[in-house]
Amino acid sequence: MATIRSVAKLAGVSVATVSRVLNQRGYVHIETEKKVLKAIKELNYTPSSVARSLNNKKTNTIGLILPDITNPFFPELARAIEDVMQIYGYTVVLCNSDGSVEKEQEYIDILKQKYIDGIIISTSNFVIDQELFSQIPIVTLDRHVTSEKIPSVEGGNYEGAKLATEFLLSTGCKHIAHLQGPETIRNARERRDGYIDVLKAKGCFDGNLIVAADYDIKKATKVTFELLERDSSIDGIFAGNDLMAIGALKAIQMHGLRVPDDISVIGFDGIALGEMIYPELTTIAQPIYDMGAIAARILVKLIEEVPLESTHHKLDVQLVERRTTRRLST
Ligand code: RIB
């Protein structure tokens, strides 16, 4: 296979001259350029993408690091990112971090070695140092870090949790439990805090009604079953994501209880699956596609050094009332 060296030899020039012709960088005499192009054609040489990236420092590829695409929330996010990046001529390399800070760091190191142009990350509490941000454009999405400089896009976690809890109260629920996501994840803590603040303001907060289920559907079934065994007064559940809400529905059914007549359930995310189950899930919908699309647009601007209008974006969430909650009490 032809190499840049064989082209240089045939054209009677240096490798550096061939590289300048390939990348249209620096001065090359017209006659020299003609000899190089003639040699490229004769040898049918195609420069490798890595070689190109070594010179023009762009591979038109970005890395997308997400916790776990088996959770339906993340594929919806990834789809938006790929759609937007494709418009601007970028390819997306997807990495699953499994919520591991170590894996996030490993992927970032690997992606840097492959000269990708930027990274979008939904981080599981990874502390992105400012030095890294000075080396490669980064946008944090959905789960972000505290940083003035690193752009972020998220949904209104705290606000959405308050909305969910207030809605359950408005339908007549009096003993509302919360299925919490991982303590290490900022948006899980924000959703828990929204739930707590509403109930404390009403004077009816009971810390025993918060159980951890790690955003996991099976754990949610287990802990909800145990919760209902020890407390039969529960008449409402706010789950920190839709998967845990779906897991809770199974536990409620295992107890022979009815939704929403005996217990109302509301989730958080607005994944498509929530519409497919019976009864259809009431939830706090995040603007998943818009979150991904905005993060992708911000990254393109960072890569192409277009100034940003703003660095941090918090998008509104909305209540989507379906069949797992009682109608508003009149
Ligand atoms: O369901 C997965 C959860 O983790 C979602 O609520 C999303 O916000 C992500 O952070």
User: Could you read off the pLDDT of 222-258 as tens digits, one per residue?
Assistant: 999 999 999 999 999 999 999 999 999 999 999 999 9
pLDDT attached to residue 32: 86
Mean pLDDT for the chain? 91
Report the residue among 195, 214, 269 best suited for mutation to probe ligand 1: largest number of ligand atoms under 8 A from its CB. 269
Residue 195 in this model has a pLDDT that exceeds 70: yes
Which of 82-86, 224-228, 264-268 is predicted least confidently?
82-86
CA 280 – ligand 1 centroid, Å: 19
85 or 18, which is more confident? 85
Query: How many angstroms is it from 165 CA to the middle of ligand 1?
Result: 18
Average pLDDT of 39-66? Answer: 76
Take atom 8 of ligand 1 and give the residue whose Cα is closest.
142
The CB of 142 under 6 Å from ligand 1? The reply is yes
Checking if the pLDDT of 135 tops 60, the result is: yes
Q: What is the pLDDT of residues 12-21, one digit of tens each?
A: 998 888 877 7
Of all protein residues, the one whose alpha carbon is nearest to atom 6 of ligand 1 is 241
| Mean per-residue pLDDT, 140-163 | 91
The predicted structure's pLDDT at residue 51: 54
- E strands in the chain: 61-66, 91-96, 118-121, 138-141, 152-155, 176-180, 210-212, 236-239, 264-269, 282-285, 312-315, 318-320
pLDDT attached to residue 48: 64
Query: Which atom belonging to ligand 1 lies closest to the Cα atom of 286?
Result: 8
> Average pLDDT of 159-167?
98
Q: Is the pLDDT of residue 49 over 70?
A: no
pLDDT in tens, 90-99: 999 999 999 8
Ligand 1 contact via 143 beta carbon (within 6 Å): yes
Question: What's the CA-to-centroid distance between 72 and ligand 1, angstroms?
Answer: 9
Q: What is the pLDDT of residues 275-292, one digit of tens each?
A: 999 999 999 999 999 999
Distance (Å) from CA 241 to ligand 1 centroid: 6
- 8 Å CB contact between 243 and 71: yes
pTM of the predicted model as reported, rounded to 2 decimal places: 0.82
Q: Which two tokens stand for residue 127?
A: 């502390």
Sign of the CA dihedral with 12 first, then 18, 21, and 22 last: positive
What does the pLDDT read at residue 262? Answer: 97
Three-class SS state of 138: strand
pLDDT over 70 (residue 57): no
Q: Please report which confidence band the pLDDT of residue 53 belongs to, taking 50, 70 and 90 as the band edges.
A: low
- Whether the per-residue pLDDT at 297 is higher than 70: the answer is yes
Q: Are 179 and 300 a contacting pair, CB within 8 Å?
A: no
Least confident among 4-18, 99-113, 126-140, 165-179: 126-140
Would the CB of 73 count as within 6 Å of ligand 1?
A: yes
Give residue 141 CA to ligand 1 midpoint distance, Å.
11
Q: Is the pLDDT of residue 170 over 90?
A: yes
- Taking CA atoms only, the protein residue closest to ligand 1 atom 9 is 142
Ligand 1 pocket check for 269: Cβ under 6 Å: yes
Q: Is 324 in the pocket of ligand 1 (CB under 6 A)?
A: no
Q: Is the CB of 238 under 6 A from ligand 1?
A: no
pLDDT number for residue 36: 86
- What is the set of domains in the chain, with CATH numbers? 1-56 (1.10.260.40), 58-154+287-315 (3.40.50.2300), 157-285 (3.40.50.2300)
What Å distances lie between residue 5 and 9, 31, 39, 146, 254, CA to CA? 6, 19, 11, 48, 71
Which of the listed residues 70, 73, 122, 217 should we mutate to test ligand 1's pocket, taking the one with most ligand atoms within 8 A of CB? 73
Instruction: Please state the atom number of ligand 1 nearest to the C-alpha of residue 191.
Output: 6
Task: Of 27-31, 47-51, 253-257, give the lowest mean pLDDT range.
Answer: 47-51
Q: What is the mean pLDDT of residues 63-76?
A: 95
215 lines ligand 1 (CB under 6 A): yes
Cβ 241 under 6 angstroms from ligand 1? yes
pLDDT given at position 115: 84
